[in-house]
Structure 1
Amino acid sequence: MTVIRIAAALLIGADGRTLLVRKRGTRAFMQPGGKIEAGELPALALARELREELGLVVEPGKAQFLGEFLAIAANEPGFEVNCQLFRLDVDQAVEPAAEIEEIVWVDAGNVDYLHLAPLTRDSILPLYRSLIG
């Protein structure tokens, strides 16, 4: 299976909720972030993607590395994502930009009403719940 290397953010707002995004033309909600370019450090890739997708300016050094996760890609059939996940606590407003069509802030409660990417559903949201528990 072909692997896509991504950097993603567990963005946690001042109220403790976390941000999920949905890209234009897709169904699955997931953490903001994106592909890591060749030779790019994951935290720098994350900062670039957050600026492009949400207008969010973050200091890469403030991103807390939470781990590496693998999952079936939500939007690329036959691909797997290798995710470098970082936590960022933010109190800035975010606006969908670039390929982001929709954003939603969710709490640790039931999110079954959303179509979630496998990585978000199986790995990241359970981790989020344990962190804010």
Structure 2
Amino acid sequence: MSDGPIWVVAGALAGSDGKWLMHQRPLEKAHGGLWEFPGGKVEAPELPAESLVRELHEELGIVVDPAHCTPVGFAEEKRSPGARPIVILLYTIANWMGSPEALEGEEVGWFSMQEIAELRKPPLDEHLASRLFGQMSEKKD
């Protein structure tokens, strides 16, 4: 088993109403029941955006063009003995085909930036949300 990081991609889907899609993790998985940006592991030989397109289709049933995946940041775990650290690459997505449904998790929901700040999220998603929405606030100022 490799001790290198586990590369994960996540998509921040932006609705036309200013709300963002969040996905509730399956109860039986790590961080079960917490809310996250949808996505999953990068598989060889995929590029991260290709993995994100595949994961969003598997998890939400939507079709995304990799050209509509815009990288906006990342979050990473610290190394700890006996565990591979996770690195999540976050992309924003404003265009897709289909209506997102929870095909693999508990549910999906559309939330404002303020509502997302109140959701219970895994630590890396906390960091990603803070980073993403902090960048957006800075652009408005």
| Residues paired across the two proteins, number | 128
Letter in 1 for 2:56: L
SS in 2 for 1:85: strand
Name stretches of at least 5 consecutive residues in structure 1 with no aligned partner.
Answer: none
Query: Structure 1 vs Structure 2: percent identity of aligned residues?
Result: 30
Retained in 2: the 8 A contact 1:10–1:128?
Answer: no
The residue aligned with 2:56 is: 50
Structure number with the higher strand fraction is: 1
Asked if residue 100 in structure 1 is aligned to residue 105 in structure 2, the reply is yes
Aligned residue in 1 for 2:46: 40
Match of 2:89 in 1: 84
What is the rounded CA distance, in whole Å, between the counterparts of 1:112 and 1:83 in structure 2?
18
Structure 1 vs Structure 2 CA RMSD: 2.3
Larger gyration radius, structure 1 or structure 2: 2
Pick closer, same or farther for the CA change 1:39–1:127 going to 2, 3 Å. Answer: same
Cross-structure match for 1:121: 126
Provide the secondary structure at the position in 2 that maps to 1:100: coil
**For residue 10 of structure 2, what is the aligned residue in structure 1?**
8
- State the TM-score, normalizing by the size of structure 2: 0.78
Distance 1:57 1:79, change over 3 A: same
Kindly indicate which of the two structures has a greater share of residues assigned to helix. Answer: 2
Partner secondary structure for residue 101 of structure 1: coil
CA contact (8 A) 2:73 2:128 kept: no
- Whole-angstrom distance in 1 between the partners of 2:22 and 2:46: 24
Judging changes above 3 Å, is the alpha-carbon distance between structure 1 residues 126 and 110 closer, same or farther for their aligned structure 2 residues? farther
CA contact (8 A) 1:96 1:102 kept: yes
SS at match of 1:96: coil
**What does the per-residue CA deviation read over 1:63-114, in whole Å, with 9 as the maximum and x for residues that have no partner?**
1111332137xxxx945321121110147521110x2111121111144652
The answer to whether the 8 A contact 1:8-1:46 is kept is yes
The whole-number CA distance in structure 2 between the counterparts of 1:110 and 1:102 is: 16
**Letter of the structure 1 residue corresponding to residue 75 of structure 2:** F
